[in-house]
Amino acid sequence: MAGIIVKPRSRIFHGHDWVYTSEVHKTFGKPEPGEVISVKDFKDRKLGTAIYNPESQIIARRFSRRTQELNHDFFIRRFERALALRNSMSFDDDVYRLTWSESDGLPGVIIDRYGDHLVLQTLTLAMDQRKDLITQALVQIFSPKSIIERNDSPIRKAEGLPLEKGLLYGEAPGIFQVTVQGIAFAVDPLDGHKTGLYLDQFDNYQAVGDLAKGRRVLDCFCNEAGFALHCARSGAQSVQAIDSSETALDCAQKNASNNQLDIEFTNANVFDFLKTTDSETPPYDLIILDPPSFTRNRKSVKDAMRGYKEIHLRALKLLDKDGILATFCCSHHVNRQMFLDTICDAAVDAKSSLRLLSSHSQRQDHPVLPLIPESEYLKGFIFQKMAAW
Ligand code: SAH
């Protein structure tokens, strides 16, 4: 097997599974892009087996500490382990993330399960080359009605892969419904945002909904209105939801009427909406901020932090006393502390004191590996704006 020798002090010696180009001491045996390679230390000791892509800054991703081929049996074993973990978590209607990349020993493979329909992303070259093997293994285990490919994530460009989507197996399902935590959602696996729903947020919908009774709620960046629907069901006094995407709002509106819940939808840019909303008494008692990632790379983090600060400042001003701010950040490049610091900066400018009620993360079907910090991306906090003492 061809491979690489890794420089001393590289992150792989600290429990990570990635090797950056700058961490390679030597390449041996001329590996091809997408090939399975051996990873060794400078004393020729084996560190495991990895997938290789010289076009990516992350030149190798270890998927096993042993010698291992990427064959049919490998995918069957990995999918069965991933399934066993999800089965132990019990999700409604079999709606969950079945594999979360490195966290399931499958770097770049993300599969969302909506009952009989599977949605696949192959975000690394090696896994993309093995899409057929993956599809065959999934068919063997799940006998699904469809497998959809949602490889339109811009992350693929870092691996030199084209953006594409389509049907890999079975019949295209169109738009269908799933019921999660007692609320019906429309799922559009081929054309919806991401793979259909934001599965990572489902526990957080419930946590925010639990606080909504009797409150005037504003759900910013609502997409399919998961937060708004839960708040309305929990007996909020009023619920308003904002998004700038017509298709997201169409879907959200259908969800509201299918669940017979009353939500006022507004098509607007949240930045403008929060800026121009003005009234003598602050109009809301619960504001949810769940924006898209404001940064796709490290270079734009500073600008992104300005954006995060701005929406928090505006939201705090629109929040009545004892009001609740539920805020989320899904950017890979912004860590929990940076996010918290930015919220604190906004609170200082808004002359508000905040009480932290709870901290949140992605749902447990997106498991976090503490030695691979990149496996955690969703950070959330629920605060109460404290009345002046
Ligand atoms: N809370 C949602 C997920 C939000 S995803 C859920 O749980 O499903 C981000 C959403 O923000 C997308 O629906 C996108 O259309 C919307 N969006 C992006 N930029 C926006 C802006 N400036 N103003 C309003 N909506 C925006």
**What CATH number is associated with residue 324?**
3.40.50.150
Q: Are residues 171 and 204 in the same domain?
A: no
Which of the listed residues 204, 205, 244 should we mutate to test ligand 1's pocket, taking the one with most ligand atoms within 8 A of CB? 244
Looking at residue 192, its pLDDT comes to 82
200 within ligand 1 shell (Cβ under 6 A): no
195 within ligand 1 shell (Cβ under 6 A): no
277 within ligand 1 shell (Cβ under 6 A): no
223 within ligand 1 shell (Cβ under 6 A): yes
Contact 354, 384 (CB under 8 A): yes
Looking at residue 180, its pLDDT comes to 94
How far apart (Å, rounded) are the C-alpha atoms in residues 146 and 112? 12
244 within ligand 1 shell (Cβ under 6 A): yes
Q: Which ligand 1 atom is at minimum distance from the Cα of 248?
A: 13
252 within ligand 1 shell (Cβ under 6 A): no
Residue 264 within any structural domain of the chain: yes
Residue 107 within any structural domain of the chain: yes
Q: Are residues 276 and 158 in the same domain?
A: no
Q: Are residues 144 and 250 in the same domain?
A: no
Q: Are residues 147 and 232 in the same domain?
A: no
Q: Which ligand 1 atom is at minimum distance from the Cα of 223?
A: 13
Q: How far is the CA of 247 from the centre of ligand 1 (A)?
A: 11
Q: Which ligand 1 atom is at minimum distance from the Cα of 290?
A: 1
Q: Which ligand 1 atom is at minimum distance from the Cα of 245?
A: 15
52 within ligand 1 shell (Cβ under 6 A): no
330 in active site: yes
Residue 290 within any structural domain of the chain: yes
Q: Pick the residue whose CA is nearest to atom 15 on ligand 1.
A: 245
Q: Are residues 212 and 345 in the same domain?
A: yes
Per-residue model confidence as pLDDT tens digits over 261-284: 999 999 999 999 999 887 778 899
Q: How far is the CA of 374 from the centre of ligand 1 (A)?
A: 22
Which of the listed residues 223, 231, 265 should we mutate to test ligand 1's pocket, taking the one with most ligand atoms within 8 A of CB? 223
Residue 192 within any structural domain of the chain: no
Residue 98 within any structural domain of the chain: yes
List the domain range (segments joined by +) for residue 283: 198-386
Which residues of the chain fall below pLDDT 50? Answer: none
Looking at residue 78, its pLDDT comes to 98
Residue 42 within any structural domain of the chain: yes
Q: Are residues 157 and 305 in the same domain?
A: no
Residue 183 within any structural domain of the chain: no
Per-residue model confidence as pLDDT tens digits over 192-217: 877 778 999 999 999 999 999 999 99
